Amino acid sequence: MAGRAHLPPLERRAVSRLHVLLSQPGVLHGSLHHIARRCGKRGCGCAEGEGHPALLLRVRSQGRQRSVYVPGAWEGRVREWLERDREIRRVLLELSEFYVARLRERGR
Mean pLDDT across the chain: 90
Residue 108 pLDDT > 70, yes or no?
A: no
The CA-based dihedral angle spanning residues 28, 30, 35, 37, taken in that order and rounded to the nearest 10 degrees: -70
Mean pLDDT, range 81-105, rounded to an integer: 94
Residue 75 CA, chain-centre distance (Å), reads 13
Residues 6+ apart with CB under 8 A from 84: 21, 24, 26, 27, 28
What residue segments make up the domains of the chain, in order of their start? 27-38+49-106
The predicted structure's pLDDT at residue 9: 85
28 neighbors 85 (Cβ within 8 angstroms)? yes
The predicted structure's pLDDT at residue 25: 94
| Rounded to 5°, angle at Cα 106 from 100 and 107 | 90
The pLDDT > 70 percentage for the chain reads: 94
72 neighbors 20 (Cβ within 8 angstroms)? no
pTM (predicted TM-score): 0.80
Of 2-16, 77-91, 93-107, give the lowest mean pLDDT range.
Answer: 2-16
The predicted structure's pLDDT at residue 2: 66
